[in-house]
């Protein structure tokens, strides 16, 4: 089998769909995952790509965090735009609780995170991470959305994900728990169908990569 690259698009809290897909890959597509050379993503997609590569044993914890995080945002008076609410700080706490200490080493030259230069508007992929903190900053920069995530941009060497400036739509605001659970299951089911179609499906192949 030829090497594959796996990429996850940006979609805000609808990234729970990606998490369902990642769970299906881990449970029923280990042989396919072994052929993946690079993982990539933007915004919430980069978070799932990072999870799949560096912490595949933490999908349950990530799912639980995502539901709680979404509920926290929904409970704010004006959602994520509520004055005084620090969206990025809450996201950072979740990332820090899930990523292993050597995540940056595992991700080096295999994880590609999309961010955009705020000055030149040039988009590029970051794949080198000097430390775990460096990796976290890159993920936060990719996830930044003004107003939604706070007025002050999250910078990584002067870069933020400028594409997110234009992504203020319903996908960025967390749907209700029932809807998120449905999206997770849809992601799982669609991925199972994909694995079956491509003859990559394995019956309960889940194990750490």
Q: Band of the pLDDT at 172, cuts 50, 70, 90?
A: low
What average pLDDT score do residues 166-184 get?
A: 76
pLDDT at 86: 87
34 assigned to some structural domain: yes
Domain count, the chain: 1
Global pTM value: 0.85
Distance CA 6, CA 103 (A): 18
Residue 205 resides in a domain: no
Q: Is residue 207 part of a domain?
A: no
Is residue 208 domain-resident? no
Q: What percentage of the chain exceeds 70 in pLDDT?
A: 82
Task: Tell whether 190 is covered by a domain.
Answer: yes
The dihedrals phi and psi of 40, each to the nearest 5 degrees, come to -145, 160
**How far is residue 176's CA from residue 29's CA, in Å, rounded to a whole number?**
29
pLDDT at 151: 38
Residue 69, domain extent: 4-197
Residue 110 lies in a domain: yes
**Model confidence pLDDT, tens digit, residues 22-48:** 999 999 999 999 999 999 999 899 999
Q: Which of 200, 129, 163 is nearest to 10 (CA)?
A: 163
Mean pLDDT of the chain: 86
């Amino acid at each position: 089998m030829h090497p594959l690259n796996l990429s996850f698009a940006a979609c805000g809290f609808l990234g729970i769909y990606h998490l369902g897909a990642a769970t299906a890959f881990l449970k029923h597509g280990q042989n396919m995952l072994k052929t993946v050379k690079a993982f990539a993503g933007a915004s919430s997609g980069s978070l799932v790509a990072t999870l799949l590569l560096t912490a595949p044993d933490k999908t349950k914890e990530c799912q639980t965090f995502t539901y709680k995080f979404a509920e926290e945002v929904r409970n704010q008076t004006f959602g994520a735009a509520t004055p005084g609410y620090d969206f990025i700080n809450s996201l950072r706490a979740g990332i820090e609780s899930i990523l292993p200490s050597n995540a940056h080493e595992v991700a080096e030259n295999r994880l590609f995170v999309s961010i955009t230069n705020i000055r030149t508007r040039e988009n590029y992929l970051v794949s080198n991470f000097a430390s775990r903190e460096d990796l976290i900053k890159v993920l936060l920069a990719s996830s930044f959305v003004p107003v939604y995530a706070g007025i002050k941009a999250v910078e990584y060497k002067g870069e933020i994900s400028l594409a997110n400036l234009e992504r203020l739509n319903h996908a960025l605001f967390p749907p209700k728990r029932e809807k998120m659970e449905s999206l997770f299951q849809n992601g799982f089911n669609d991925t199972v169908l994909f694995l079956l179609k491509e003859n990559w499906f394995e019956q309960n192949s889940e194990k750490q990569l």
